[in-house]
Amino acid sequence: MKARPPKAPPVPAHPLYIPESDEVVWDGRFPMQRVRFRYRRADGTPSGLLTWEMWRRGNGALILPYDPWSGRIALIEQFRLPALAAGEEPIMRECPAGLLEKGEDPEATVRRELQEETGFTADRIEKIGAFMTMQGGADEVLHFFCGRVRLPETAAPGTRGLADEHEETRLVLLPAEEAFAQVARNEIRNSPAALALMWLQINAPRLNAEWTSD
């Protein structure tokens, strides 16, 4: 019998969860499970039988680079096939982000991804929070951070990214106020980036005071 992939362990036991079967139907980079189950309703009775396909993405982390001295932020743009499939523009404006390696701390992940995708280093980092991104079909939990970065006057020409992953990212520098306006106009179509920017819009006055005092 083929061993179960480490990225797709059985769903853990819970008083609300009544499992019937749990199988891995695809064992690629991100495994897919087919789970047949019932859940316990509010009155204690079991639901009807459900069959769900669940994508095992695991944990990821992103960082919003912010320069409190100039009031600017840095984002990246890259090609995203699922965006094209959804009828969106395939070049998405995002925060630097990546998946956690086994046993890796989320802050270490964002420090690595920030360097790989922008060339920048954050000397202070604050955690925003952790959020599920697709709870209707995937187990992904995304850890959000904001990092203090001294941004250059203009973005360096060319692109970055890991060549062995065929990754190409382009740096975008924006006044934070313009980025907030883009979110308000629904021009930033990437929800994690929008959420991070909305957090910054609320917290920028505090960060400006704390992060420019040393």
Q: Catalytic amino acids?
A: 165
In whole angstroms, give the CA distance from residue 85 to residue 102: 30
Question: Are 135 and 53 within 8 A, CB to CB?
Answer: no
Residue among 29, 31, 61, 176 at smallest CA distance from 127: 61
Residue among 71, 64, 68, 172 at smallest CA distance from 128: 64
Cβ contacts of residue 205 below 8 Å, gap of 6+? none
